[in-house]
Amino acid sequence: MSDTHRRLTGLVRQRLFWPVLILVVLLVSNLFFTPSFFSITVRDGHLYGSLIDILRASTPLVLVAVGMTVVIATGGIDLSVGSVMAISGALACLHISGLADQNSVGGVLFAVALALGLSVLLGLWNGTLVAAIGIQPIIATLILMVAGRGLAQLITDGQIINVNSAPYKVIGAGYALTLPVSVLIVVAVVAAAALLIRRSALGMLVESVGGNPTASRLAGIRARQLVILAYVFAGLCAGIAGLIFSSNVSSADGNNAGNLIELDAILAVVIGGTALTGGRFSLAGSVIGAVIIKALDITIYTIGIPSQANLLFKAVVVIVLCLAQSSAFRARLAGITRRGGPARPPGSPPGSPPGKRPDGAGGGLPQQAGPTVSAEAEVRA
């Protein structure tokens, strides 16, 4: 156990160093504005403090980001998660609002099961479009992203459905073992996913499918089921996130629930060090990435900058991270005049680990191929 532990910490130190550093810097910088930022007190039998607030606020995003990580690892992307969140919350609230007794635990459980079942179906739909019909992931999930918003509004009939159900409220706003229930749910889901993915061959298979679909097919891996499973998992995560979100405010808003969360989730995945081109991925990195984003939101709010302006900070973070991951940028930094040594094949996707050699068949988007070469060609011309 100590051996694996040491290996684990070694791994974390390598891949998660920067995300963790950003998070720490962000949290410490809060001390200047709110000296009591790190204090956690026990009140009414549960923990209370800014750190807990950040954790609680980031639960939906963490879930969505974890689902997104697995999808991105297969070389895909899921834009529909925000819509799935809205649908899941809308369906659960619709069912609960129709109950004779909104406080009946059985009815709430059935509503939750209904919402999660639909989320799984929607994930299955995405996965089928991508894996069985072979549509580009961005486009396949774009369909549900657009239509799903409409579906959510159809379910809520364009209104905001308010529910008054104590058992339902527990999911997003309740406390157990002094911790918010939503945080416990997220910990359970992430732990289960991590166990399943890292303790079985599943993670390796997903990475191989995302890293090089052709090679993994030749190696006898059935990519189709794996990819469908990834989208189903993303759908399920988004569904749970939708429940937490709507339970927290005891209402369902088909129009605004989960709005733009897909972009935040992608951002979280990128911050966590997973390359958008697929292949190697880091669940822990995405979790930290999601917490960073929410911490950033809250920090900006406490500083007193208009909260919408945090988009500007996000833009800066995305660009800086992508530049840091970009091999072309690093090569340019190293030496503009002559690039020494064949350290990396031309056209290598940004942030890909050095061991991975994407070739023409190596998946990824077509526009990826060869911009670095073209840069040189134009310089010579």
Residue ranges binding another protein (CB under 8 A): 77, 133-136, 138-140, 142-151, 153-154, 157-158, 254, 263, 266-267, 270, 276-277, 306, 308-316, 318-319, 322-323, 325-329, 332, 347-350, 360, 365-375, 377-378, 381
Instruction: Provide the β-strand partners of residue 176.
Output: 179
Query: By the 8 A CB rule, do 190 and 62 touch?
Result: yes
Write down the least CB distance from residue 233 to another protein, Å: 21
The letter for the amino acid at 307 is S
Nearer to another protein, 57 or 135 (CB): 135
Write down the least CB distance from residue 13 to another protein, Å: 26
Nearer to another protein, 20 or 135 (CB): 135
Nearer to another protein, 106 or 158 (CB): 158
Q: In angstroms, rounded to a whole number, what is the distance separating the alpha carbons of residues 27 and 296?
A: 9
Give whole-number Cα distances, 295 to 57, 78, 311, 349, 381, in Å.
Answer: 9, 24, 13, 29, 48
Q: In angstroms, rounded to a whole number, what is the distance separating the alpha carbons of residues 358 and 214?
A: 11
Nearer to another protein, 171 or 257 (CB): 257
Query: By the 8 A CB rule, do 38 and 304 touch?
Result: no
Q: In angstroms, rounded to a whole number, what is the distance separating the alpha carbons of residues 196 and 201?
A: 8
- Rg of the Cα trace of the chain? 22
Write down the least CB distance from residue 37 to another protein, Å: 24
Give whole-number Cα distances, 238 to 67, 189, 197, in Å.
Answer: 7, 12, 18
Write down the least CB distance from residue 372 to another protein, Å: 6
| Residue 63: HSE in the Cβ half-sphere, 13 Å Cα cutoff | 29
Query: What are φ and ψ of residue 87, in 5° steps?
Result: -65, -45
Write down the least CB distance from residue 362 to another protein, Å: 13
Nearer to another protein, 82 or 203 (CB): 82
Write down the least CB distance from residue 305 to another protein, Å: 8
Nearer to another protein, 187 or 375 (CB): 375
Report the length, in residues, of the chain.
Answer: 381
Query: By the 8 A CB rule, do 328 and 307 touch?
Result: no
Neighbours of 341 (CB within 10 A): 7
Nearer to another protein, 225 or 374 (CB): 374
Write down the least CB distance from residue 124 to another protein, Å: 15
Q: In angstroms, rounded to a whole number, what is the distance separating the alpha carbons of residues 57 and 51?
A: 10
